[in-house]
Chains A and B, each alone.
Chain A
Amino acid sequence: MSEMDSLYREVILDHYKNPRGHGVIEGADVEAEGMNPLCGDEVSIFVSFDGDKIEDVKFRGRGCAISQAATSMLMEMVKGRTAQEVAALDRDELLDEVGIPLTPIRLKCALLGLGVLKLALHKGKGTSLPDEWAGLAEDLELK
């Protein structure tokens, strides 16, 4: 398998073309957005809670295949889990799911959605933003 085939493996292209949890939650409990100024990737995430549990989560955005596919995968990973659990989610859990070798530049694409989601949980449930996200928040212009 060539490098290219592994980066744009079928599952990535599938999530990119048919994103899961794509859309807007009307009347969401919280929403957050972020962009990667380097390549203009944009992601907005909407969350509604049932107690501490993430009852529903959706995203919309535009950008490269890696950023959009990784966010799509993330939607499937976190639905039904608690805000605290997801706030503490190790980024490797997502990267394992993405499952492709990423250069530092593309790593930012892959982690954009996770950053935005953690920001939404921080806004909605006051969960802490781990230290590693503080620097990333600057890089990715989360708001």
Chain B
Amino acid sequence: VAVTAERKLDARKMRADFPIFEQQIHGKPLAYLDSAASSQKPRQVLDAMTDFYETSYANIHRGVYDLGERATEAYEGAREKARAFINAETTREIVFTRNVTSALNLVAYAWGLDNLGPGDLVLVTEMEHHSNFVPWQFIARRTGAELAAIPVDAESGELVVDDLDRIAERARLKVLAVTYVSNSLGTVNPLERLAAWAHDRDALLVVDAAQAAPHRAVDVQGLGCDFLGFTGHKMCGPTGVGVLWGRRELLEQMSPFELGGHMIRKVTLEETTWNELPHKFEAGTAPIAEAVGLGAAIDYVNEIGPDTIERHERELLVYALPRLAEVPGLRLFGPPADRRAGIVSFELEGVHPHDVAQILDWEGVAVRAGHHCNQPLMGRLGVPATTRASFYVYTVPEEIDRLVEGLHKVRKTFA
């Protein structure tokens, strides 16, 4: 009998890697339930960056000297780690950006301005983060293309995909921009299906993987998408570095986005030609140490295993959802645990999310309150804002207990 042992994540042990948990907040241990906004950083990542700065730092891609070569190797080594992490074919397709927002702006501008026009349709969804919505709205307006959004079912928190063909009748579908995992609801979207549907219409699929890459295995070739962005700071890495992956032939055809140093091949007074991929899209001095930190974060996440992280968060969800549902007056948003990532948004009757978050803060519980850069989705849910708790590798069930106890305290205060 073959036995497959599923690795189990020991979150308590993980926490020892994260120096931030050594402190107390308002005299209580920190329950950090805001990893969907940004994750905390393990010592391994911090040490990798400090070590790089202390031993191997110089500017890259130009030093004839030893240090410059070592720095370039470290930076390009991180690119290879990012390639393997999302199963891209080649590092030529891995563009370092500032974050997912800059990755998506790159696509909207550099691809959109040259490929969209009147009669074309840009399709997004109602659950997009503003970073995958506002650039498309703006570029659609600039080019005269039409913008439409796949609706979200307010009850289930999932995309309404029965109606796609009718939506696409409005104009010639050119691009579908969709999030892999909703940053407000945790909903995991059916990307393979959407990719096949978009490609049937010769349209491109652009994927915001900001909330997916930290929490589950991402395979760009398996998904069949055309562009995908993810960011370091939500997956144990530093701020200031993200990745845009794009299919090579598309990136080859596109004009550059930012112009300046490093992205050029030859500059004369009359004309400039562009550097090869991916450098064509990396103008200026890169976030070098940040990329090294992202590489260390990828190692860290791989060491645990993306599937193990996904299972860990599902277990937390299975524990958290019924416990939260027991809080009187609490309305949960989003799908059941088997169709969502470790993100829980809710509303507490009669209490604004800011007040909820403020009172929880005094219990040492850090949650996010607001519209989560999801104003169209908040409109669909019929709320101005929600309170959101989100989990990661260091989240333990006791923190969910403290969240629930804190919510009872909120109710008592506002009773």
Contact = CB atoms under 8 A, between A and B. Distances in A.
Contacts of B362: 2-4
B413 A39 contact: no
Nearest to B351: A65
B358 A40 contact: no
Contacts of B140: none
Contact of A3 (B26, B352, B353, B385): B26
B380 interface: no
A39 B358 contact: no
Interface string B380-394: 000011000000000
Interface string A58-82: 0000111110000000000000000
Interface string B19-58: 0000000100000000000000000000000000000000
Contacts of A65: 351-352, 355, 414
Given A7-B358, A8-B359, A39-B385, A64 B414 contact: no
Contacts of A13: 413-414
Interface in B263-320: none
Contacts of B385: 39-40
Interface in A30-57: 38-42
Given A3-B26, A8-B413, A13-B414, A39 B359 contact: no
Contacts of A17: 414
A39 B26 contact: no
Interface residues of A, number: 20
B354 A64 contact: yes
B355 A38 contact: no
B358 A109 contact: no
Contacts of B352: 39, 41, 62-65
Contacts of B369: 39
A109 B414 contact: no
B233 interface: no
Contacts of A39: 352-354, 369-370, 384-385
Interface in B180-206: none
B83 interface: no
A103 B25 CA distance: 16
How extensive is the interface on chain B, given as a class? Answer: 10 to 19
B371 interface: yes
A102 B31 CA distance: 23
Nearest to A63: B352
Interface string B94-114: 000000000000000000000
A40 B357 CA distance: 14
Contacts of A64: 352-355
A38 B414 contact: no
B37 to A, nearest CB: 14
Contacts of A38: 370
Contacts of A63: 352, 354, 384
Contacts of B378: 40
A130 to B, nearest CB: 26
A140 to B, nearest CB: 15
A22 to B, nearest CB: 15
Interface of B: 26, 351-355, 358-359, 362, 369-371, 378, 384-385, 413-414
Given A39-B385, A40-B378, A40-B385, 7 more contacts: A2-B362, A17-B414, A39-B353, A39-B370, A42-B384, A65-B351, A109-B354
Nearest first, the 3 closest Cβ-Cβ pairs linking A and B are A40-B384, A64-B352, A64-B354
12 contacts: A4-B362, A8-B355, A8-B359, A8-B413, A16-B414, A39-B353, A39-B369, A40-B371, A62-B384, A63-B354, A64-B354, A106-B358
